Structure 1
């Protein structure tokens, strides 16, 4: 289980709420895995991720456009790579079925995304907004 830290907030309530929602879903999946129920929960988690990425990445990318975020193109590329990873995991599940390996891969993917992408890349969005607001 990963506890939300205030340091994960980027300072944009809508985005921060979406990030908290992702963490809650990740923790549900972790909990299922610790109870040996990861195989049962993986399909639901992937379905959530597909829907989440559409809504969240759309919101985040629109915000980046609105603030003229200098690294928008790179950020969009990273988002596209994450979506591809989710789709590849789903394809593996559909063709090979659920395995311990697939649950481990999803755990690692989500943990890495949360701890690295949100805490590093998305923080830059908040910093950009703060600088812009200070300049005004």
Structure 2
């Protein structure tokens, strides 16, 4: 993961997906890349003082992303016998609740600076902590499992 701060034209931050975040499964990695790209574009809009205008668009993306990505990720974890699936699933439930709370706040108050800042904080934490740590741990599980399959094939071949 690459985080850059720039003082040009205000306080801008760029958060970019890097290969070290890959779990090794193309669909999941592609979805993670898209999340990083969307957040980076949103941060760019915020740096140009257009973040409030893009909040509803961001939430529309997040609604689709969470539904599709979490389902795909959890199905793969189950298929691959991931021991920490239930704990991981609970983190997804918690994130969905946080997004629902933010969505409720957005619907009640409209696109306010408070909602904007809180949304940025929640997403930044998710990207830097959950994907960087928890999803990478699943990637390590996939690599270990693939390594043991290769070892078994070479022993039997």
Judge same fold: TM > 0.5, yes or no. Answer: yes
Q: In the alignment, does 2:97 pair up with 1:55? A: no
Q: In the alignment, does 2:121 pair up with 1:111? A: no
- RMSD in angstroms over aligned alpha carbons? 0.8
TM-score normalised per structure 2:
0.84
More helix, by proportion: 1
Q: In the alignment, does 2:86 pair up with 1:89? A: no
C-alpha deviations, 1:15-72, integer Å up to 9, x for none?
Answer: 0000000011101110111111111100110110011000000000000000110000
Higher RCO (Cα < 8 Å, 6 or more apart): 1
TM-score normalised per structure 1:
0.97
Cα distance between partner residues in 2 of 1:95 and 1:69: 39
Provide the aligned length of Structure 1 versus Structure 2: 136
Cα deviation, residue 3, structure 1? 2.1
Q: Residues 1-136 of structure 1 correspond to what in structure 2 (within 5 A)?
A: 1-136=14-149
Cα distance between partner residues in 1 of 2:71 and 2:35: 15
Q: Give the gaps of 5 or more residues in structure 2.
A: 1-13, 150-157
More strand, by proportion: 2
In the TM superposition, structure 1's runs of 4+ consecutive aligned residues that sit over 2 Å from their partners are none
Cα distance between partner residues in 1 of 2:97 and 2:117: 17
Cα deviation, residue 11, structure 1? 1.1
Cα deviation, residue 4, structure 1? 2.0
